[in-house]
Structure formats: structure tokens, C-alpha cells
Amino acid sequence: MPALISACQGTADTPTAVPTAPPPATVTLTAPPVVPPSASPMPATVTLTAPPPTATPVPASATRPPPSATPGPPPQIAVLAYHHFGVPAAGEYDCPLDQFEAQLRWLKAHGYESVLPQQLVDAIAGRATLPPHPVMFTFDDNNGEQYTDAAPLLEQYGYHGAFFIMTVTIGKRYFMKADQLRDLERRGHVIGGHTWDHRNMAILTPKELQFQLDQSEQELNDVLGHKPQFLSYPFGVYTEDVAAEVAKRGYHGAFRLRDPHDPQVAPPFMIHRQIIPGVWSIEDFADTVHSMEP
């Protein structure tokens, strides 16, 4: 059956009083729901619509500081999740570039240093220490403006991040191309998996789960010359069985969102993140970063 893929919506701790904008791009995918491991995947039919020129504007007075973060496994650091950039008005999944840059300026002014997934996993295992004020930037879904707009700004402030790729979109309009993914990795960023076409891993059959991971791993291996070592759960959702399968495949860690009812699994496979809505003020942003720290 066709599946509709939109921004990586999940259980983010966003202010309840803020109306949200719909995800800017839709991808309609037609593919068999289950492909046996021995079969070749059928080509996907991808229909894309352009991002809207604006998102729903929200008055500054409508924002308020977010609630405290759900505690994560030690060491606790601020792991920030982004989706769309380059939109003139803010939304839950749209962060205008001027606001993104204001966040980077605030982090730089307060001594934050970016860390990458392997550094955090090593620190969780007691094999390494993190800088005094660590922060991690993560980007979901493979949206093209992450390469054209967000990555250059990130690097301008001396930061690097992890980009989690929904591989069915590679090379499609409005999404990153293979050479752009390779370029990001050459520049010191991490490229991770986000499954093949963004299905909720918690409700897949075992065969469907195998297909999603097999396809994602093979396509990223074809692009990068190696399989991904980290994964972001679509919608931030997973189960104990999903986490076990990801670990069995050799991933070093996986990222969720921050639902307090998430299954408790090995700490590297339940790293908590916070979606950063573009509607938040810099005060909201600072409160969130502090709330995710010890």
C-alpha cells in the first residue's frame, strides 16, 4: 500500500500552546510492504511536492519555555534535532536560518563544543570524556537545505553534526544527492541511517524491518563505501526488539526522541534528542539546552 512520508514527527517536548505548521514536503511512495530477503526491491514511485514558501507564523507572545527534559542515560548532553531550514516563517519542523544562526551564536558565546555520535557513545561506555559544554547537532530525513544552508552555517561556527538519511530520497528533487552526502562526510560530518522510507519501526513485521534496514544499509554503503554506524529511529519510536536488531547488525548507537515511556534498552541505543521548533525564542532554546544537561 502507498505510504506517506513527511517530516520526522514524533513525541517532541514542544510548547503545547504553539500551533504547528504541516511538514513542508511530502513523498508518496509505492513499494511492496514486505520484500523477502531473496527478492529484489521493486522501484519506488516518488511524487514530490515543493516546500511551501512560508510556514504558519506564530506570534512571539505565544511561545513559552518548554518543560523540563526527560532524563536520559549519563552522560547527559543536549542533542538537538532539526529538519527544515530556509523558510521565512517558523514552524514546529521549520527553523529559519536567522534563528538557527542565533542559536549557533548563543552556543558559541557560552562555550559549547559540538561532539559526534561516536564520541558520545565512547563517553557512555567510559572510554572517553566529553568537553565541559558538549552539544550535538542532528538532522533527519535528508532534506536538501541541510546541505545548502545548514551545514555551511554550522561549519562557520566550528561545529559538525550527524545527518540521518531516509535513503529512498537520495537524488530526488528537494533532497540531498549522493555526492553531497559524500562531501558532508569528507568535511567531518557523520552520515547515519533513517531506514529506507521512514516507516514506524515499532509496528513493522520482522520481514519488513529486515527490508527497511537492508535497503538503507546497502544504499548508504553504495554511496559512502561503508555501512552506517548510527541510526535515528523514524518518528523517534522503537521497541526492545527493534533496538536488539539494530545492535545485532553492528550499529554503535541509535537516537530516539524523548518520550518518558520509551523502552529501556542499552544506553547507546536510546540516546535522547529534542526537536528544536523554529517558533522558539532564544530564551526557549537556552532553557531547553540547560534542561538536557546534568
Residue 38 sits in a domain whose CATH number is 3.20.20.370
The pTM of this model reads 0.78
Assess if residue 233 is contained within a domain. Answer: yes
> Domain limits at 34?
3-52+66-291
Grid coordinates representing 54 are 512560508
pLDDT of residue 164: 98
pLDDT of residue 74: 58
Our count of domains for the chain comes to 1
Quick check: helix, strand or coil at residue 258?
coil
Assess if residue 219 is contained within a domain. Answer: yes
pLDDT of residue 274: 95
Assess if residue 60 is contained within a domain. Answer: no
Query: Of 119, 114, 128, nearest to 161 (Cα)?
Result: 114
Query: Which portions of the chain are predicted below pLDDT 50?
Result: 1-7, 10-72
Could you give the CA distance from residue 156 to residue 108 in angstroms, rounded to a whole number? Answer: 11
Is beta strand 134-140 parallel, antiparallel or unpaired with respect to 161-165?
parallel
Assess if residue 57 is contained within a domain. Answer: no
Q: What is the pLDDT of residues 210-227, one digit of tens each?
A: 999 999 999 999 999 999
